[in-house]
């Protein structure tokens, strides 16, 4: 209980990868997932690059402004499935919990379009945050294995050495 003597309600979290079974399952098209829209209509899932454009679009739905602004306590949580039928995340049981997550997943795994390219090593990335993480370490030596592989993260290097024949210590 808290300082007022009332029992604190503790919400149980589901393990990662197990979405809410009551959640509304949303399936967006590959075209929508590749767009760089930051503002998405919660009624029809159409995306817009600017908030002003979304506001103008919402008027077409003829939903009273008060209803749009009011938080709906009964609104169902939404989960997003991958449109690729062979993908694990196509199954609603493995859906992703937010729009940014499904967009990043789709770009990484199912898109050949690499919009961001490293100026040092020419490696391309479909997700800007992956590119930004790469350029922080590109060109630094990192952790080198005897087999020739180089790792920027010590955890990955140690994990690799556990299975690499050349990286094992010889007695």
pTM above 0.85, yes or no: no
Cβ neighbours for 7, distance < 8 A, ≥ 6 positions apart: 1
Contact indicator for 143, 150 with CB cutoff of 8 Å: yes
Q: What is the pLDDT along the chain (171 residues), one digit of tens a residue?
A: 555 555 556 666 666 666 777 788 888 888 888 877 667 787 787 777 788 888 888 888 887 666 655 555 556 688 899 999 999 999 999 999 888 889 999 999 999 999 999 998 899 999 988 998 888 878 777 787 888 788 878 888 889 888 888 765 543
Contact indicator for 19, 98 with CB cutoff of 8 Å: no
HSE at residue 87, side-chain half, CA atoms within 13 A, is 17
Please name the helix (run of DSSP H) or strand (run of DSSP E) that holds residue 81, with its range, or none.
strand 78-81
Domains by residue range for the chain, with CATH = 24-110 (no CATH), 116-163 (3.30.160)
The one-character DSSP state at 151 is E
């Amino acid at each position: 209980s808290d300082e007022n003597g009332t029992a604190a309600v503790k919400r149980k979290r589901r393990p990662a990868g197990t979405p809410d079974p009551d959640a509304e399952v949303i399936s967006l098209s590959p075209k929508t997932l590749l767009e760089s829209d930051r503002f998405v209509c919660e009624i029809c899932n159409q995306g817009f690059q600017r908030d002003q454009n979304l506001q103008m679009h919402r008027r077409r739905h003829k939903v009273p402004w008060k209803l749009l602004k009011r938080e709906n306590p009964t609104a169902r949580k939404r989960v997003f499935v991958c449109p690729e039928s062979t993908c694990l995340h196509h199954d609603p049981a493995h859906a992703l919990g937010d729009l940014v997550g499904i967009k990043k997943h789709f770009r990484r795994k199912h898109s050949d379009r690499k919009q961001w390219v490293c100026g040092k090593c020419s490696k391309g990335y479909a997700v800007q945050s992956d590119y930004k993480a790469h350029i922080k370490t590109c060109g630094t030596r990192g952790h080198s294995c005897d087999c020739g592989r180089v790792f920027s993260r010590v955890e990955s290097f140690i994990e690799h050495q556990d299975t690499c024949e050349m990286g094992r210590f010889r007695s």
